[in-house]
A and B are shown apart, each in its own frame.
Chain A
Amino acid sequence: MRTKILLAIFFAGLPALAHHSFEMFDMSKVFTITGTIKEFQWTNPHTFTWIDVPNDKGGVDTWAIEGMSPNFLGRRGWTKHTLNPGDEVTITIAPLKDGQKGGTFLRCTLADGKEMVMFDNPPRAQPTAK
């Protein structure tokens, strides 16, 4: 419960960080996906990370994760080379409510173990969420 309240407070501040509302994301679920980077679009108004994630059926789903813009991230340690095709990474997301394989990018762990965040202190995955 406490986690949910903290998340609610955190996400209430998020609209100020984007050019659209966060209504389409399920802020009550935060989880990680691990896979291989297909493409990292370093574009405005949002970066988009396309990542191939193994699914339960032995196949692969391509997820599209919306992130902050190059303008915002470029001033906070990111570059267009932070994520590269073929990189194995784990990304923490809040998923889309509509069931599409997508979500909003919160933080990630690179292949070398380095952690990158989208903004200050984004939430971590909830142990039970998926």
Chain B
Amino acid sequence: MRYRTENRSFGGRRCARFGGRAHCGRRVLLVHFLYNFEVDSQYHFHTGCATKQVLGVLGLALIAFAAPGFAADASKLPGGTWESIPKLPDMNGVWEMTFGRGGFAPPQQFSFTPKYEAMLKEFQASARQESPMANCVPAGMPGTMSQPYPIEILFTPGMVTVIAEAFMQVRHIYTDGRPHPEDPDLTFNGHSIGHWEGDTLVVDSVGFTTDTSLGMNMGTRHSDKMHIVERFHLKDSKTLEIATTIDDPEALTKPWSRTITYARHPDWTLAEYICQQNNRNFMDASGKAGINLKH
């Protein structure tokens, strides 16, 4: 296998591949076949080789035949019913990042392609210093998971919901076996699907807008091909670790990884966070930080 962590297009279907397994709902084996086929075909599925296109269409038809609607047996998947949820590792509740572990990475930790390295250098050489977050625009992924505010995790049948207090963000992680949309709309937090590997919830996300960045300012950019894999694992009943790997065939020459540790706070509830309530910070048109002190 030539590629460890990549996004590939399968005749329009986007599948994520990592850790030696392909993930596209539960159509793993067929996707595996198609994946190998596509790698061997040098990604020319959609670029004009008629024979390969026909084979691609046949392959997709085979998938449709072999794997009827994902919802049909979603209840048999881990966490597919209320009864099965208590059998899963108990991640329900309120968690806060333990500061100093993980979080936003300094730019030098990313291995950017020449184009994105040039974008970083241009940013650093400019007067810009700020992120749209100063104007109350949410961070988007991966920043949604590394804010200095708690997150709440909720398990319901077929879905894990992550609520981030900062900017009041909600991530829906579908664990009912559905694949990613073939052509997802590009959003701040992407489209997320999850499955269980033993005691680890593996969350695969694609479909990100390029309005966001990998870090605290807009110097560290990513493309709309960004692909995020998060492995949620309970280190103990009070400690959650999320190991995140990001690959981006346009922006990064190798995947970037971080692990964030969260502490459980059983007595906490999430609070309201309306950033526009009294936001006196701003990023001006030139990208510089400012503050409004009118009383």
Contacts and interface: CB of A to CB of B under 8 A. Distances in A.
Interface in A41-74: 41, 43-46, 48, 50, 62, 64, 66, 69-72, 74
A24 B295 CA distance: 19
B291 A24 contact: yes
Interface in B221-278: 265, 268, 271-275, 277-278
Contacts, number: 92
A16 B279 CA distance: 17
B165 A71 contact: yes
A130 B54 CA distance: 75
Given A16-B103, A45-B279, A72-B149, A66 B291 contact: yes
B271 A70 contact: yes
Interface of A: 13, 15-21, 23-24, 39, 41, 43-46, 48, 50, 62, 64, 66, 69-72, 74-75, 96, 100-102, 120
Contact of B104 (A15, A20, A41): A15
Interface of B: 99-100, 103-104, 129-131, 133-134, 136, 146, 148-149, 165-166, 216-217, 265, 268, 271-275, 277-281, 283, 288-291, 293, 295
Contacts of A43: 277-278
A15 to B, nearest CB: 5
A7 to B, nearest CB: 17
A66 B283 CA distance: 16
Contact of A46 (B130, B165, B278, B288): B278
A69 B291 contact: no
A62 B295 contact: yes
23 contacts: A16-B99, A16-B216, A19-B134, A19-B275, A20-B134, A20-B289, A21-B131, A21-B134, A21-B216, A21-B289, A23-B289, A24-B289, A24-B291, A39-B295, A44-B275, A45-B273, A45-B277, A48-B280, A66-B280, A71-B165, A71-B273, A101-B293, A102-B291
